[in-house]
């Protein structure tokens, strides 16, 4: 099922997500719906917060052919180093892209959609995407990494477009 995606500056995007206590059938259904929503959008990452579910769950697929779906439940970055600038966009901030500085290399631990714990090391686009989506779970948008001037301009542009 395609879920509605919240758009900036919707205040619900600022909600801090809570941990998923158990990976049950409802979570598995949400994971499936989030993948369907992300692919349809189209995007390479989606946080549960963006579809108005305020739990620590993200789905990602950075492959060209949608062949590498990755689900991270209760993700936590346990190591990060280096620095990388990447041109980011966001399904909650449509048609807006800006360069953001992130860690170049991360190690994350999470649960998969079966509730099994795993660790993953990621760099470049996958690492950037994981950091971007974890930010969503903490109520942070990629635009928060921009200058106050760029944030103000985006907010004005967004409000005009919504009228």
Rounded to the nearest 10°, the torsion over CA 140, 146, 149, 155 is -40
1 by DSSP, 3-state: which?
Answer: coil
Residues 31 and 141: their CA atoms lie apart, in Å, by: 21
**Among residues 36, 85, 133, 156, which one is catalytic?**
133
Q: Is 9 exposed, middle or buried (CB count within 10 Å of its CB: 0-12, 13-18, 19+)?
A: middle
Tell me whether residue 124 is one of the annotated catalytic residues: no
Residues 125 and 89: their CA atoms lie apart, in Å, by: 12
Give residue for tokens 């049950």. Answer: 24
Residues designated as active site: 133
């Amino acid at each position: 099922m395609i879920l509605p995606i919240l758009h900036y500056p919707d205040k619900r995007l600022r909600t801090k997500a809570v941990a998923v206590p158990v990976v049950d059938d409802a979570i598995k259904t949400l994971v499936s719906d989030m993948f369907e929503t992300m692919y349809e959008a189209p995007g390479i990452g989606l946080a549960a917060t963006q579809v108005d579910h305020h739990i620590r769950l993200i789905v990602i697929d950075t492959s060209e052919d949608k062949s590498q779906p990755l689900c991270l439940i209760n993700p936590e970055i346990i190591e990060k180093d280096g620095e990388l600038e990447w041109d980011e966009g966001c399904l909650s901030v449509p048609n807006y892209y800006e360069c953001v500085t992130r860690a170049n290399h991360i190690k994350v631990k999470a649960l998969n959609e079966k509730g099994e714990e795993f660790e993953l090391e990621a760099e470049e686009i996958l690492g950037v995407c994981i950091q971007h989506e974890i930010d969503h779970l903490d109520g942070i948008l990629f635009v928060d990494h921009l200058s106050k001037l760029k944030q103000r301009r985006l907010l004005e542009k967004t409000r005009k477009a919504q009228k």
